[in-house]
Chain A
Amino acid sequence: MRRTALASAAILAAATMLTACGDDDDGGSSSSSGDVEIMTWWTEGGEKAGLDALIENFDKDYPDETLQSTPIAGGGGSNAKKVILQRLQTGDPPSSFQGHAGAELLDYINTGAIQDVSSLYEEEGWNDIFPPSLIEMLTYDGAIYSVPANIHRANLVWANPSVLKDNGLPTTAPASIDDWIDDMETLKQGGMEAPLAIATDWTQVQLLETVLIADLGPDAYTGLWDGSTDWASSEVTDALDDYATLMTYTNSNRGSLDWPDSSGMVAEGESAYTVMGDWVPAGYDVDNLVPNKDYIWFPVPGTDGVYDFLADSFTLPVDAPNTEGAEDWLRVVGSKAGQTAFNKAKGSIPARTDIDPSEFGVYQQSAMADFKTDTIVPSLAHGAAASIAWLDAITSAVGKFSTDPDVGTLQDDLVSAADQFASTE
């Protein structure tokens, strides 16, 4: 008798535990209809400051609505993307979520998880305010699925001017990749082990994409992603040869470094150059380095006049709770006040071309001028050019090349990656 009682008690306990868990789940994910829930991976530093500035603008413009921000920490949104996917799969999407503009959103678009927002573009007149080539890049089958909050540029060289002067080199941009390689040879002869600082796999992908832009030109580079340029062509082989040569001037410990390490090597004069996006000045600011004195920048040789862009953007999920509130959020993201406040804090530049640059930093002002006139191409390493699966396959091939530098194998791998993934575009 006593044993039976004990057993029933145990079952009862287990049952309560189960129901308790169930209750918990429901409580965590529900949101009342008046709220606008946005999910981002901006949790610290300039990114968080930028998000807070956007939220402030939203609260000012739409005092009747309550914005509920769900930030999920993790570099590049690695964790946030998983949570967003789960929420979408279980039919419980947030009102709006962050994603890199461009091909990275393809998975969501192809599976019908996010909606066309081109009507908002017309309403707000964004079609005339965002650069036409950016609009073209954001458009799939006549529809636009996201609103960019900012623009970053990936095809930049950051250089240490005093190191260049010491080696008798000019502090202006070399005219071509070949000239640039000559300069590196000079530096190497002068005793510098690694003139070009680089870090782990994804930074090598970024270097590769800029070399492809330089050697193929912006049109043929863009063609790599829509199938009009052949990955097996001899032009690509030539570009890969240049990439292989550049890699011989890089540091051998690249695998264990990340981008702050490689840009630090330039600041300390251990290397002369690094190729990285325009989030570098934010890091240099912290070290009190002065732009144009302690460090200089120029487009990767051969890519002058090309803006290799990536952008953070916000989407409108299908069946989003409080669609109207979500649209209001997107209006704020695209607005003049919103873009100004966000980008001043984050260090990137607005996607709008009608914002006065004088309020922004030295680098940002030069970037805003370029953005108006340059040809815009999508960045591979940062999700604008190819789907995540394709990028992953390319990153793996580039990582393999890092330890086993064989141009033929690299090109074969890139061709088979294109064969496998380009068809799904």
Chain B
Amino acid sequence: MADQANRPKRRRRMHGIATWGPGLLLISPSIVLVGIFVYGLIGQNFQLALSDKHTAIQPETFIGLDNFKDLLTEDRFQHALTNLLIYTVAFLIGTMFFGMLWAILLERGIRGEGIFRSIYLFPMAISFVSAGVVWRWLLNGAQGEEAAGLNRLFQSLGPGGLQNSWWDTPNWGMVAIAMPAMWQLSGYMMALFLAGFRSIPDELREAARMDGASEFQLYRHVLFPQLSPVALSALIIAGHMSLKVFDIIYVIARNTYQVEVPATYMWQVQTFDQAKAATIASVLLIVVAVLIVPYLVYNHRTEKNR
């Protein structure tokens, strides 16, 4: 009798495990792998950043935040951060502008939209490294007889006065080196915005037109406000990519002081000063987290409310 009384209860417990058990088992390999290889290694990186392991094969001792203090007060790192800021602003303005422009043009239902969409999106299929090799040549600073790339183009097709030394120009050089990145990602921004436009019901436009809104007013007061969630996502995606920039700069300019950003600085010092490299990596992670975490929290909240 006692057995019989217990049975339903046990079955219910079994039933509980049966619901979440297999699911947990299925995802547990990835939890373990991500735990070790992402979060475990991030932890180790921070541990290294808080140590004095400045030469290659030296045992590490904990020294607190000294490395961070040294790094943030260092001229060279501040120069790298300024470079990164200029690059990011140029990149964001460039991609958002061209992405939006192309999206508006295509959204108006021109003929051959599919072809244009592919043309604009296609640069994204190329790796930053191979694009960088081409842009290294295009952005060659040589002028006059030695001119190559864009300078040669300016020279032979007129206005020769447009020739310049591109990324080798103080400060503005970072804008020049942001050009390849804009070229690659504007198409992606366009795709995001285009999807945003398409998700706006036609009724809204029709209603606005019925009410006598001009085309400008239609975009300004009806369509753009609807696009702001998309624009925010686009900004976050482009922003975090931009902050981590390494490949395109390294391929075009190597470790040149002129266009040094935190990621190339880190790459440069990692062979001989691991603690410093880890500190730069930590600062980069924190900077990106400052951008992304609030966005994730915001996203989570809006989804919950939905």
Q: CB within 8 Å of B: which residues of A?
A: 3-4, 6-8, 10-11, 14, 81-82, 85, 88-89, 107-108, 110-113, 193, 200-201, 251-257, 265, 270, 387-389, 392, 395-396, 398-400, 402-404, 424
Closest to B17 in A: A4
Closest to B136 in A: A256
B56 close to A107 (CB less than 8 A): yes
| A256 CA / B257 CA spacing, docked (Å) | 12
Of the candidate stretches B85-93, B222-230, B268-276, B287-295, the one touching chain A is B268-276
| A277 CA / B139 CA spacing, docked (Å) | 27
Q: CB within 8 Å of A: which residues of B?
A: 18, 21-23, 25-26, 28-29, 33, 54-58, 76, 79, 136, 139-146, 165-168, 170, 253-258, 260, 268-273
CB distance from A314 to the nearest CB of B (A): 19
Of B140, B170, B256, B272, the contact of A388 (CB 8 Å cutoff): B272
| A402 CA / B257 CA spacing, docked (Å) | 9
A252 close to B141 (CB less than 8 A): yes
CB distance from A242 to the nearest CB of B (A): 21
A252 close to B257 (CB less than 8 A): no
Of A4, A108, A255, the contact of B141 (CB 8 Å cutoff): A255
CB distance from B125 to the nearest CB of A (A): 27
Which 8 A-B residue pairs are closest in the complex by CB-CB distance? A399-B257, A253-B141, A7-B25, A255-B168, A111-B57, A14-B29, A3-B22, A388-B272
Q: A388-B271, A402-B257 are in contact. Are A4 and B57 (CB under 8 A)?
A: no
| A7 CA / B20 CA spacing, docked (Å) | 11
Q: A256-B253, A399-B257 are in contact. Are A387 and B168 (CB under 8 A)?
A: no
CB distance from A145 to the nearest CB of B (A): 14
Q: Which residues of B contact A392 (CB under 8 A)?
A: 268-269, 272
| A404 CA / B169 CA spacing, docked (Å) | 10
Of B79, B256, B268, the contact of A255 (CB 8 Å cutoff): B256
CB distance from B238 to the nearest CB of A (A): 26
B167 close to A255 (CB less than 8 A): yes
Closest to A193 in B: B144
The main secondary structure of chain A at its interface with chain B is helix
Q: Which residues of A contact B143 (CB under 8 A)?
A: 252-253
A253 close to B168 (CB less than 8 A): yes
Q: Which residues of A contact B136 (CB under 8 A)?
A: 256
Of B58, B141, B142, the contact of A111 (CB 8 Å cutoff): B58
Closest to A15 in B: B29
Of A4, A254, A402, A404, the contact of B21 (CB 8 Å cutoff): A4
Of B29, B54, B79, B146, the contact of A265 (CB 8 Å cutoff): B146
Q: Which residues of B contact A111 (CB under 8 A)?
A: 55-58
Provide 12 A-B residue pairs closer than 8 Å at the C-beta atoms, listed in order of the A residue: A4-B18, A6-B26, A7-B22, A81-B271, A111-B57, A113-B56, A200-B254, A200-B256, A256-B141, A388-B272, A389-B272, A392-B268
B145 close to A270 (CB less than 8 A): yes
A399 close to B22 (CB less than 8 A): no
| A392 CA / B272 CA spacing, docked (Å) | 10
Q: Which residues of B contact A400 (CB under 8 A)?
A: 79, 257
CB distance from B284 to the nearest CB of A (A): 19
Taking A88-B57, A256-B166 as given, write out 9 further A-B residue pairs in contact, using a Cβ cutoff of 8 Å, ordered by the A residue number: A7-B22, A85-B271, A107-B56, A253-B146, A255-B256, A256-B140, A256-B168, A395-B255, A396-B76
CB distance from A100 to the nearest CB of B (A): 13
